[in-house]
Structure 1
């Protein structure tokens, strides 16, 4: 997974816009951040998953996903070079669903 592929997956979800905060791109839906690129380092991304979704996503691919040290519950780091495309897509959708307004979320088909 590259930064460009991560960006394309995130922006491919309904209602998503890219924003720059502190020189790091983030991805928002309904004004809420659900993913950040380049956090904690340039080869990483961070997903703002629900605390319920995080354990399953991390367990399914522990070489690529890990809970963010000292982060809020659900904040999950993704080592992009180790992350398989299907797993990142699944995790991005989970983070997006957690933040998306119902009117957008209800019309999304995977």
Structure 2
């Protein structure tokens, strides 16, 4: 089980990440590119590679991952934080960070992130 505090701790540990409100909730950006944000208490929005990746996550573990009509057609998935552990949360945030990070930032920091 993870919380918003875990999201903040993990996200802000990623290189060149800042926190700034997005739609009234905490958002996490790499070089001003949003890669994750809290949607509501206990629900995180993260970027995926593409819509197919999003759909695969939802199909594989619908208790953890879901979407709403607002996100239809977009490569973003909603995550129920109580259903994921800290390691899985770190992987989700790191993947989203890599997807959204500019090439220059990836080149400078990508290898160090494992």
TM-score bracket for the superposition, by shorter chain length? 0.7 to 0.9
Unaligned runs of 5+ in 2: none
Shift in CA distance, 10/28, structure 1 to aligned 2, threshold 3 Å: same
Which structure dedicates a bigger proportion of its chain to helix?
A: 2
TM-score where L is the length of structure 1: 0.84
Aligned residues: 108
CA contact (8 A) 1:65 1:83 kept: no
* RMSD over equivalenced CA pairs, Å: 1.8
The whole-number CA distance in structure 1 between the counterparts of 2:60 and 2:94 is 15
Secondary structure at 2:70's aligned position in 1? coil
The whole-number CA distance in structure 2 between the counterparts of 1:31 and 1:92 is 15
Secondary structure at 1:78's aligned position in 2? strand
Shift in CA distance, 59/85, structure 1 to aligned 2, threshold 3 Å: farther
Structure 1 residue 93: Cα displacement: 1.0
The whole-number CA distance in structure 2 between the counterparts of 1:56 and 1:87 is 16
Q: How does 1:1-110 map to 2 (within 5 A)?
A: 1-37=2-38, 39=39, 41-51=40-50, 52-59=52-59, 61-71=61-71, 72-106=73-107, 107-108=109-110, 109-110=113-114
Structure 1 residue 60: Cα displacement: 5.3
Unaligned runs of 5+ in 1: none
